[in-house]
Structure 1
Amino acid sequence: MLVHPQFNPVALSIGPLDVRWYGLMYLTAFILFVALGRAHARRRPELGWDAQQIDDLLFYGVLGVILGGRLGYILFYKPAYYFSHPVEMFAVWQGGMAFHGGFLGVLIAVWLFARSHDRPWLAVTDFIAPLVPLGLAAGRLGNFINGELVGRVTDVPWAMIFPQVDMQPRHPSQLYQFTLEGVCLFVLLWVFSAKPRPRGLVSAVFLIGYGGFRFLAEFGREPDDFLGLLALNLSMGQWLSLPMIVIGIVMAVIAVRRAADT
């Protein structure tokens, strides 16, 4: 039976300042975005991206992730609590970020970027789609280091005990999500986006891929204790992933049909 190493959430201390692993994972995600963005621009020079534009896009994206992720957590997961304790909406150091909210925040931020740089919105989302998954992987690694968002109780041979939660063997669901939503999705999108595709198709593959991988990984993840399983015994994460899959399929069909008609 595996046991979680119970890492110290503080990676290092500089005087009174504590640098936490989770913060370092966010920093890693942003660095990966810039590095991969520049590599993607070099291999696809016809897309017309330069280093300054990628840096500007990162700024917009960071705002979208933080504001959207926090607002999404408040609205999707604990609306009643935060409406009763409005001051705590700003207590981000206590945790509480939602991917689906961050995703919506990024879409809005990308729309603002596209508008200010006179670029088609879908052309921008197609460019950034392959740059995102490894950042998501870094976030899931941070969840694992913190021993949070644990999996459901199981008897599989690779089950892990998280002593900071309880002594029951559980799925290491953070590592499932690291592998599926992070590494596998990155490889899929990086290879797929290496060649010209109809506008919107890379974005569609991201939606289908992330939604599908997240839906599967949620079967191993313990539902939030304040929500539990919802209709059809699906978690909130699964219900929020289903629209992504449907929208992605519709976008893919439209993109392919438009390309065929031109």
Structure 2
Amino acid sequence: MLSFPDIDPVLLEIGPLKVRWYGLMYVLGFMASYFLVQFQIRKHKYALLAEHFENINLVLILSVIVGGRLGYVLFYNLSYYSQHPLEIFATWTGGMSFHGACFALIVSGWWYTRKIGLDFWKTADIYVATIPVGLGLGRIGNFINGELFGRETDLPWGMVFPYGGSVPRHPSQLYEASLEGAVLFAILWIAKDKPWQHRRYWPHGSILALFLICYGFFRMGIELVREPDQQIGFLLNAFTMGQLLSFLMVAGGALLWSLRLYNTRETTINK
């Protein structure tokens, strides 16, 4: 059994102001995405995206925050927030859903790119290849907070979490940081240039589809050892909310890739 590291979730405290590790991870994730997207813009000479870069970043950051919060409220704790609606705005108390943030990112990105005349599929592929960096950092923030821990285990790397009772548990946050962060980033970063080089087999939009499929599979697997949310438990006596939402991501990603591949080949044939 490993000892849970004694790390104060508050990194810096100045009077009433508290800088938390979890919040810092969000900032670092946004910064990493900013520079990695800029790198791709220069590489592919995507001038129109460069022109609207700052504005689209603002739209996407707001989408992550609003979508993540509303996703948590709707998917994970609607009964509580329906009775305490003002607490929906108290984001500093915790409670964000990646699935909600992902949905909001896609919808707002589609809306804004259409509004300014950008190609949504090209733009989505560029941005989505950077998302795992923020995901990995966010899971490290969860680990430091001692939240979203795993189920009981007798494996040698089990940990006793501050809010998880006296039994050792899977450090599922670190599993997620590895798979949803490092491994998924490697997959997408290696594949990111294929739509620009092999468009018939890798149409624009396929990196977005690959992200949805891989993240969904990784998350469904990790949910097998992650403690279900206390206020929800198991759905249909077998599945967690995270698994069901991730299954929809996998199905949506597979459908998206099929449609993009079909449309691209039809366009090629009709030329």
Q: TM-score range by the shorter chain?
A: over 0.9
Determine the structure 2 residue equivalent to 1:30: 30
Farther-moved stretch of structure 1 (246-255 vs 158-167): 158-167
Tell me which moved more, 181-190 or 10-19: 10-19
User: Partner residue of 2:10?
Assistant: 10
1:251 and 2:256 equivalent? yes
Instruction: Give the alignment of 1:1-262 within 5 angstroms.
Output: 1-45=1-45, 47-48=46-47, 51=50, 53-195=52-194, 196=196, 197-231=202-236, 233-261=238-266, 262=268
- TM-superposed CA distance for 1:200, in Å, is 1.6
- Displacement of 1:54 after TM fit? 3.0
Deviations 1:218-245 (A, max 9, x none): 1111000111111251110000011110
Q: Is the 8 A contact 1:6 1:164 kept in 2?
A: no
**SS of aligned partner of 1:161:** coil
Percent of matched pairs sharing the same residue: 44
Q: CA deviation at 1:6?
A: 2.9
Aligned partner of residue 160 in structure 1, secondary structure: coil
* Amino acid corresponding to residue 117 of structure 1 in structure 2: I
| 1:210 shift after superposition | 0.9
Q: CA deviation at 1:27?
A: 0.5
**CA RMSD in angstroms, aligned pairs only:** 1.5
Distance 1:232 1:260 in 2: 43
Q: Residue 78 of structure 1: CA displacement?
A: 1.0
Q: What SS does the corresponding residue of 1:170 show, helix, strand or coil?
A: coil
In structure 1, how many angstroms separate the alpha carbons of the residues matched to 2:175 and 2:211?
Answer: 18
Equivalent residues, number? 261
Provide Cα deviations, 1:168-202, integer angstroms capped at 9, x if missing partner. 11100000110111111111111101232312211
Structure-2 change in CA distance of 1:2 and 1:167 (3 Å): same
Taking structure 2 as the reference length, the TM-score comes to 0.91
Q: 1:84 to 1:163 in 2, by over 3 A?
A: closer
Contact 2:49–2:118 (Cα < 8 Å) also in 1: no
Deviation, 1:57, is 2.1
Task: Return the offset for 1:259.
Answer: 2.7
SS state at 2:129 partner: helix
- The question of whether the paired residues in 2 share the 8 Å contact of 1:33 and 1:58 is answered with no
CA distance in 2 between partners of 1:222 and 1:91 (Å): 24
Contact 1:34 1:54 in 2 (8 A): no
Instruction: Write the distance in 2 (CA, Å) between the matches of 1:236 and 1:149.
Output: 13
Distance 1:105 1:254 in 2: 21
User: Does structure 2 retain, via aligned residues, the 8 Å contact 1:6–1:147?
Assistant: no
Counterpart Cα distance in 2 of 1:74 and 1:63: 17
Q: Which moved more, 1:51-60 or 1:95-104?
A: 51-60
Mean CA deviation greater in 49-58 or 236-245: 49-58
- TM-score normalised by length of structure 1: 0.94
CA displacement 1:10-35 (0-9 Å, x = unmatched): 10123432111111011001101101
Conserved 8 A contact 2:12-2:18:
yes
| Structure 1 runs (4+) greater than 4 angstroms displaced | 49-52
Could you tell me how far 1:166 is from its partner in structure 2?
1.6
Q: Distance in 2 between matches of 1:79 and 1:130?
A: 32
Deviation (angstroms), 1:211: 0.8
State whether residues 99 and 245 of structure 2, in contact with CA within 8 Å, keep that contact through their aligned partners in structure 1.
yes
For the residue of structure 2 that corresponds to 1:168, the secondary structure is coil
